[in-house]
């Protein structure tokens, strides 16, 4: 007897193929990591050139904070001019340049087979340079992550690669972009896993690490070893400050929830405007200009402001102003559909919250002695980590910024508490809400497929219905009519040859067709059924068997001995697979009685 096992070993063969091609993917990831570092440097250079030209009328790569401009009233219209340019690029170039970058990369991975159009990869950096260079209160990090991902995607499209391999390269480019920006290679790898891959597999993890390491090394060569934010010595007050950190986590979580809801509410208001969306960024730019006229620190990326907050250089009143003004400026401008990242501005808002919290607590309860630096750092990580639902990334990010192990406990507590708040009050993250509004479902939980954990042997019917191949369909029909439980308990019967080995499978539908062809029922079970059917083995996971069923359009499989393929061991039907999955899913919802409840029931007073 022969049997087509192309899908039986399909998953195993696929795994072998991934292992053989892994060196190629790693080599491509190495190239992407280096290119992404140069792309990050190029984008920051473009932003600096644009900002210096607009705010200081100088063509220079020397970094100067837009907050110190001397434009006067002209600052009211400069962001609007940038918004017009971005609107034109979106209308006549690609609408995908709108937004903050990471949701677009997520969409490419999850719903577009990891394909990003080259036009987007080219236009996105220029649109961001225009938006930030004219005062936009955005970060370049999300667009850099998207651009790095686009590089990986385009390279994957140039070569003959699978969608999974393109996904690995896209994620490697995204990780490289973040690593090249902040010099935080570990957090960059985890970010790609938490926000793009939603899996932990060697085929993607190894290229991620290689790209991140090489991007960081290239950053050292291109931009130097200095960190993005310089932080002095920090006293994290562990363990005495942990209760205060828990309270800060709650506040950070509510800030993330409020900001996320406000952002999408403002987007909804812009979508109701009666004129073309090309003009929306102009209106958002005008709103930004008004805010920037009174609070210049909202202009631009704001790394200088973040450093000032992390080093406790700002008064409480100014922290409160920055917290409110930066959030409003970001909401109005990004909600209008322009191009720019969320990471840096939410860092600013989060750090301001942390610094303000420490100042207020220390004023009301001097014995708390909270460090404004420490609170600013952990709140900065918590606000974005909880809003984006990437908590592990930003726990590691905060640690990599300080390189101080004492930061671990506060970071873990604050980020986890904030994450819990957002999980409770937000159905989607700030990243996935945009996709959900387009009808796209993003599942951000990490779990092994239930069907990979259950073997055929665990759910098969060990005593299948077996009929000899020479039995006629008339005899089988008579036994069914007589209510023979041996025949009627299953929808299909396994057919054996003279030696008792598997020869075929016969379903109820086959019986009906046999009588349609020959009303006398003289056909044998083997003639009426399917000879040499697809089979399953006891040690196979259900995740291997189900694709075989779908491919061959069969709802039932004989289970045979792997060493003796004709020896019947059982029977597997679709219902058994569904029941197994439902049983595992019930573990999340059905509570066991518990010892205490059982004891109270058996020993009542």
Q: Give the number of other CB atoms < 10 A from CB of residue 351.
A: 33
pLDDT digits (tens, 9 = 90+) for 233-257: 788 888 889 999 999 999 999 999 9
Same domain, 300 and 207: no
Same domain, 206 and 346: no
For residue 8, pLDDT over 50 is answered with: no
Burial category of 217 from C-beta neighbours within 10 Å (exposed 0-12, middle 13-18, buried 19 and up) = middle
For residue 266, pLDDT over 80 is answered with: yes
Same domain, 28 and 155: yes
Sign of CA dihedral 276, 278, 280, 283: negative
Per-residue pLDDT, averaged over 212-226, amounts to 91
Task: Identify the band that residue 6 occupies on the pLDDT scale cut at 50, 70 and 90.
Answer: very low
Report percent pLDDT > 90 for the chain.
41
Residue-range definition of the domain harbouring residue 533: 450-586
In a domain, 76, yes or no: yes
Per-residue pLDDT, averaged over 197-208, amounts to 86
For residue 10, pLDDT over 60 is answered with: no
Listed residues 437, 464, 488: the one ending a domain: 437
Q: State the CATH number of the domain containing residue 170.
A: 1.10.3080.10
Q: What are phi and psi of 467, to 5 degrees?
A: -130, 145
For residue 353, pLDDT over 90 is answered with: yes
Cα atoms in the Cβ-side hemisphere of radius 13 Å centred on 271: 8
Helix axes of 391-402 and 163-182: crossing angle, nearest 10 degrees: 30
Per-residue pLDDT, averaged over 276-292, amounts to 93
Q: Which helix (H) or strand (E) holds 280?
A: helix 280-294
Instruction: Give the pLDDT confidence score for residue 218 in this predicted structure.
Output: 94
Same domain, 459 and 427: no
Same domain, 275 and 409: yes
Can you tell me the distance from the alpha carbon of 358 to that of 420, in angstroms, rounded to the nearest whole number?
22
Same domain, 376 and 327: yes
Tell me the two tokens of residue 124.
């996105």
Same domain, 62 and 136: yes
Same domain, 83 and 203: yes
Per-residue pLDDT, averaged over 154-159, amounts to 86
**Most confident among 56-65, 74-83, 580-589 (mean pLDDT):** 74-83
Instruction: Give the pLDDT confidence score for residue 478 in this predicted structure.
Output: 87
For residue 227, pLDDT over 80 is answered with: no
Listed residues 437, 464, 492: the one ending a domain: 437
Is 486 within 8 Å of 465 (Cβ atoms)? yes
Instruction: Give the pLDDT confidence score for residue 596 in this predicted structure.
Output: 64
Per-residue pLDDT, averaged over 379-389, amounts to 95
260-263 long-range contacts (CB < 8 A, ≥24 apart) are: 260/387, 260/422, 260/426, 260/429, 260/430, 260/433, 261/426, 262/327, 262/331, 263/330, 263/331, 263/334, 263/335, 263/430
Task: Identify the band that residue 576 occupies on the pLDDT scale cut at 50, 70 and 90.
Answer: confident
Task: Identify the band that residue 599 occupies on the pLDDT scale cut at 50, 70 and 90.
Answer: low
Cα atoms in the Cβ-side hemisphere of radius 13 Å centred on 351: 27
Is 320 within 8 Å of 356 (Cβ atoms)? yes
Report percent pLDDT > 70 for the chain.
93
Residue 466: helix, strand or coil by DSSP?
strand
- Note the Cα 144 to chain centre separation in Å: 17
In a domain, 377, yes or no: yes
Q: State the CATH number of the domain containing residue 495.
A: 3.10.580.10
Same domain, 429 and 286: yes
In a domain, 3, yes or no: no
Tell me the two tokens of residue 525.
């079970």
Per-residue pLDDT, averaged over 468-493, amounts to 82
For residue 9, pLDDT over 60 is answered with: no
For residue 550, pLDDT over 80 is answered with: yes
3-state secondary structure string across 533-587:
CCCEECCCEHHHHHHHHHHHCCCEEEEECCCCCCCEEEEEEHHHHHHHHHHHHHC
Same domain, 285 and 408: yes
pTM, full prediction? 0.82
- In total, how many domains does the chain have? 3
Helix axes of 508-517 and 473-481: crossing angle, nearest 10 degrees: 120
In a domain, 420, yes or no: yes
**Most confident among 183-187, 429-433, 577-581 (mean pLDDT):** 183-187
Task: Identify the band that residue 444 occupies on the pLDDT scale cut at 50, 70 and 90.
Answer: low
In a domain, 600, yes or no: no
Instruction: Give the pLDDT confidence score for residue 223 in this predicted structure.
Output: 87
Can you tell me the distance from the alpha carbon of 408 to that of 155, in angstroms, rounded to the nearest whole number?
38
pLDDT digits (tens, 9 = 90+) for 520-533: 888 898 888 888 89
For residue 445, pLDDT over 70 is answered with: no
Instruction: Give the pLDDT confidence score for residue 249 in this predicted structure.
Output: 97
In a domain, 602, yes or no: no
pLDDT digits (tens, 9 = 90+) for 110-136: 787 778 888 888 888 889 899 999 998
Lowest mean pLDDT among 76-80, 443-447, 574-578: 443-447
In a domain, 491, yes or no: yes
For residue 605, pLDDT over 60 is answered with: no
Is 579 within 8 Å of 521 (Cβ atoms)? no
């Amino acid at each position: 007897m022969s049997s087509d096992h192309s899908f039986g070993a399909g998953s195993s063969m696929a795994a072998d193929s991934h292992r053989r091609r892994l060196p190629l993917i790693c080599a491509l990831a190495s190239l992407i990591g280096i290119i992404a570092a140069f792309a990050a440097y190029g984008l920051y250079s473009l932003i600096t050139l644009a900002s210096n030209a607009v705010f200081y009328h100088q063509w220079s790569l020397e970094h100067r904070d837009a907050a110190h401009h001397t434009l006067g009233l002209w600052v009211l219209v400069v962001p609007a001019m940038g918004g017009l340019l971005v609107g034109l690029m979106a209308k006549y170039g690609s609408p995908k340049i709108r937004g903050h970058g990471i949701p677009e990369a997520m969409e490419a991975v999850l719903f577009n087979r990891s394909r990003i159009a080259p036009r987007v990869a080219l236009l996105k950096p220029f649109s961001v340079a225009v938006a930030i260079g004219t005062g936009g209160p955005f970060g370049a990090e999300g667009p850099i992550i998207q651009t790095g991902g686009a590089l990986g995607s385009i390279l994957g499209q140039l070569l003959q690669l699978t969608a999974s391999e393109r996904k690995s390269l896209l994620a490697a480019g995204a990780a490289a972009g973040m690593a090249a920006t902040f010099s935080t290679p570990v957090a960059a790898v985890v970010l790609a896993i938490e926000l793009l891959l939603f899996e932990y597999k060697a085929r993607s993890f190894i290229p991620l690490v290689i790209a991140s390491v090489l991007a960081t090394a290239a950053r050292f060569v291109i931009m130097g070893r200095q960190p993005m934010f310089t932080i002095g010595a920090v006293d994290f007050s562990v363990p005495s400050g942990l209760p205060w950190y828990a309270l800060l986590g709650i506040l950070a979580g509510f800030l993330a929830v409020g900001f996320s809801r406000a952002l999408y509410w403002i987007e909804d208001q812009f979508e109701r405007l009666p004129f073309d969306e090309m003009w929306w960024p102009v209106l958002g730019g005008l709103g930004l200009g008004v805010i920037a006229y009174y609070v210049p620190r909202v202009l631009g990326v704001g790394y200088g402001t973040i450093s000032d907050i992390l080093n406790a250089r700002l008064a409480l009143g100014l922290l409160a102003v920055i917290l409110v003004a930066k959030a409003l400026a970001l909401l109005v401008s990004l909600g209008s559909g322009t191009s720019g990242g969320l990471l840096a501005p939410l860092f600013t808002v989060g750090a301001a919250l942390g610094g303000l919290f420490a100042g207020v607590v220390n004023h009301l309860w001097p014995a708390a002695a909270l460090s404004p630096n420490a609170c600013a750092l952990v709140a900065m990580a918590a606000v974005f980590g909880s809003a984006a639902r990437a908590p592990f990334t930003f726990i590691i990010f905060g640690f990599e910024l300080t390189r101080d192990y004492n930061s671990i406990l506060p970071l873990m507590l604050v980020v986890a508490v904030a994450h819990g708040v957002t999980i409770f009050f937000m159905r989607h993250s700030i990243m996935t809400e945009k996709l959900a509004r387009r009808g796209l479902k993003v599942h951000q939980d990490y779990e092994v497929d239930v069907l990979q954990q259950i073997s055929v042997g665990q759910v098969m019917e060990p005593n299948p219905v077996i009929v000899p191949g020479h039995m006629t369909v008339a005899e089988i029909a008579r036994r069914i009519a007589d209510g023979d439980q041996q025949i009627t308990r299953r929808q299909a019967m396994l057919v054996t040859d003279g030696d008792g080995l598997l020869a075929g499978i016969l379903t109820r539908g086959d019986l009906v067709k046999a009588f349609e062809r020959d009303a006398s029922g003289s056909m044998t079970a083997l003639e009426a059924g399917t000879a040499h059917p697809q089979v399953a083995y006891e040690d196979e996971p259900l995740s291997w068997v189900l694709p075989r069923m779908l491919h061959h359009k069969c709802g039932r499989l004989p289970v045979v001995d792997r060493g003796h393929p004709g020896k019947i061991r059982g029977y597997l039907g679709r219902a058994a697979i569904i029941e197994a999955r439902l049983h595992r899913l019930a573990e999340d919802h059905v509570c066991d009685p518990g010892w205490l409840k059982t004891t109270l029931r058996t020993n009542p007073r």
